[in-house]
Amino acid sequence: MALYVQKYGGTSVGSVERIEAVADKVCGFKQQGHDIVVAVSAMSGETNRLIGLAKEIQSQPNPREMDVLVSTGEQVTIALLCMALESRGVSARSYTGAQVKILTDNTHTKARIQDIEVTSMQRDLEAGRVIVVAGFQGVDPDGNITTLGRGGSDTTGVALAAALKADECQIYTDVDGVYTTDPRVVEGARRLDRITFEEMLEMASLGSKVLQIRAVEFAGKYKVPLRVLSSFSEGQGTLITIEDDAAVEKPVISGIAFNRDEAKLTVIGVPDVPGVASKILGPVSKANIEVDVIVQNVAADNTTDFTFTVHRNDYEATQKVLEKVASELGAREVVGDNKIAKVSIVGVGMRSHAGVASKMFDTLADENINIQMISTSEIKVSVVIAEKYLELAVRALHSAFEMDVDGSVSG
Ligand code: ADP
Ligand code: ASP
Ligand code: MG
């Protein structure tokens, strides 16, 4: 008999009926003799609702208070799920992050897990109880409530599985696995039976929100067997695996990720002298703004245009920083565009195949989509394009790389 940590996301616990359905599912596993630890999200929409309330009062609320507020969503679902389990004759006990003791650092709203106390959970498991833990939250060394960043219940699930040495961490959600791309955007998207940690990490960091990036990192680091499955239907889902020899037989491209959350800024006509990149990006990073894709071109007149992308929420703040930097550097002007999107193709098979990037560029050219920026790594190629072409680009690439359900996978 196995120990499973099962994480149920917002849609899966989005109503009383759905919480009851989760309880039925958990009961089924229990009846088969397995030990079950559950991590739950808040009911779908609840975290956004809470953030909205805060924003009605203050545009930049105090992060500590934000965590006190948004962690309440998960407290509701742990209690309701335990009631549903008890009403089915299954003994269950709920825990907030602080009660378990999911110890984190004190970086409010994006805290990192440092340690998890397992003794009381182990006692409950020995007593045959189902343990239901609030996802997304922890407690810092001073006893303050912290949260782990949006989508953080995935990380709670994986961290619990690592701490308890579970046989598998199962992420139950509203799709039945990890697909070649978001199945809500491309109808022909195909479910993958397996995907490597490395690819999943790229997909997650390039915008596929099916798993939180930190959850994938954590699972890779602690070798937690991780599976994504549907709360609403049966099936094997997708197993996230450590790369094996079979990788040479893998398709060149495993998936397409995209991200609408970015904005692009360019400092035009910067004198092309050593130290310019650091003079531009230094103040940006000092303002706590993360930079993603960077492109620098040298013009014939010995000036350079310096372009980079940031999260769309940081667009105005970055503009302000750059106006100042541009005048100090004697640059011509700062221009920006916040209606861009980034599309990325990902696959470990790319390492051993040439021509992947050019196929991507040809496909976009055939659709008359202009590429504004390009960034590559060993296992991905990303392009920045106008947001209005995002769906067209993803669909075209999905079929060009023969990933559609009825197409064969290129190899
Ligand atoms: P949960 O609330 O269960 O955590 P999320 O909304 O965070 O669920 O993640 C599931 C969603 O991720 C799906 O509904 C799907 O639209 C989206 N998604 C994006 N990319 C992919 C992908 N490659 N495979 C599967 N789902 C994806
Ligand atoms: N409820 C949190 C969020 O919406 C955490 C999660 O669902 O994973 O981001
Ligand atoms: Mg999620």
- Band (pLDDT 50/70/90 cuts) for residue 68 is very high
Average pLDDT of the chain? 94
pLDDT tens digit string along 136-158?
A: 999 999 999 999 999 999 999 99
pLDDT at 410 over 50: no
pLDDT tens digit string along 306-334?
A: 999 999 989 999 999 999 999 999 999 99
State whether 295 and 156 are in the same domain. no
Q: What is the mean pLDDT of residues 386-398?
A: 97
The answer as to whether 180 is a domain residue is no
pLDDT at 247 over 80: no
Regarding the beta carbon of 150 and ligand 1, being less than 6 Å apart is answered no
Ligand 2 probe mutation, 46, 71, 146, 150, most atoms within 8 A of CB: 150
- pLDDT of the residue at 246: 56
Ligand 1 probe mutation, 25, 158, 174, 201, most atoms within 8 A of CB: 174
Domain count, the chain: 2
State whether 260 and 156 are in the same domain. no
Q: What is the mean pLDDT of residues 60-79?
A: 97
The answer as to whether 234 is a domain residue is no
Q: What is the mean pLDDT of residues 349-362?
A: 91
The answer as to whether 331 is a domain residue is yes
227 and 169 in contact (C-beta within 8 Å)?
Answer: yes
- pLDDT of the residue at 59: 86
State whether 146 and 14 are in the same domain. yes
State whether 59 and 161 are in the same domain. yes
To 5 degrees, how large is the angle CA 229–CA 235–CA 239?
50
Q: For a pLDDT cut of 90, what percent of the chain falls above it?
A: 88
Q: Which residues contact 28 (CB under 8 A, 6 or more apart)?
A: none
Query: In this structure, which residue's CA is closest to atom 9 in ligand 2?
Result: 150
- Band (pLDDT 50/70/90 cuts) for residue 29 is very high
Of 164, 195, 160, 163, the closest CA to residue 177 belongs to: 195
- pLDDT of the residue at 401: 94
Q: List the single range of 60-69, 162-171, 238-247, 371-380 with lowest mean pLDDT.
A: 238-247
SS3 313: helix
Amino acid at 319: Q
Q: Which residues surround ligand 3, an ion (CB under 5 A)?
A: 9, 151
Angstrom distance (rounded) from CA 383 to CA 342: 6
Task: Assign residue 279 the CATH number of its domain.
Answer: 3.30.2130.10
pLDDT at 380 over 70: yes
State whether 263 and 140 are in the same domain. no
- pLDDT of the residue at 302: 86
State whether 48 and 165 are in the same domain. yes
Separation of 61 CA from ligand 3 center, angstroms?
A: 23
Task: Assign residue 156 the CATH number of its domain.
Answer: 3.40.1160.10
Task: Give the global pTM.
Answer: 0.92
The answer as to whether 300 is a domain residue is yes
Angstrom distance (rounded) from CA 174 to CA 9: 8
Task: Identify which has the larger pLDDT, 115 or 242.
Answer: 115
Q: How many residues does the chain have?
A: 411
- pLDDT of the residue at 48: 98
Which two structure tokens, joined as six digits, stand for 169? Answer: 């961490």
pLDDT tens digit string along 157-186?
A: 999 999 999 999 999 999 999 999 999 999
The answer as to whether 49 is a domain residue is yes
Which among 174, 192, 211 is the end of a domain?
174
Ligand 1 probe mutation, 8, 178, 182, 212, most atoms within 8 A of CB: 182
- pLDDT of the residue at 43: 98
- pLDDT of the residue at 252: 87
- Ligand nearest the Cα atom of residue 11: 1
Give me the domain span that covers residue 91: 3-174
Angstrom distance (rounded) from CA 69 to CA 260: 27
- pLDDT of the residue at 406: 66
State whether 260 and 170 are in the same domain. no
The answer as to whether 409 is a domain residue is no
389 and 369 in contact (C-beta within 8 Å)?
Answer: yes
186 and 139 in contact (C-beta within 8 Å)?
Answer: no
Helix then strand then coil, in percent of the chain rounded to 5, is: 40, 25, 35
The answer as to whether 363 is a domain residue is yes
- Ligand nearest the Cα atom of residue 41: 2
- Could you give the C-alpha distances from 294 to 21, 290, 297, 323, in angstroms and in order? 47, 11, 10, 18
Which among 153, 174, 195 is the end of a domain?
174
Regarding the beta carbon of 152 and ligand 2, being less than 6 Å apart is answered yes
- pLDDT of the residue at 205: 93
SS3 7: strand
pLDDT tens digit string along 34-57?
A: 999 999 999 999 999 999 999 999
Q: For a pLDDT cut of 70, what percent of the chain falls above it?
A: 97
State whether 167 and 293 are in the same domain. no
The answer as to whether 297 is a domain residue is yes
Which two structure tokens, joined as six digits, stand for 381? Answer: 């190629």
- Band (pLDDT 50/70/90 cuts) for residue 384 is very high
State whether 133 and 279 are in the same domain. no
Rg (CA), the chain: 23
- Band (pLDDT 50/70/90 cuts) for residue 281 is very high
State whether 161 and 263 are in the same domain. no
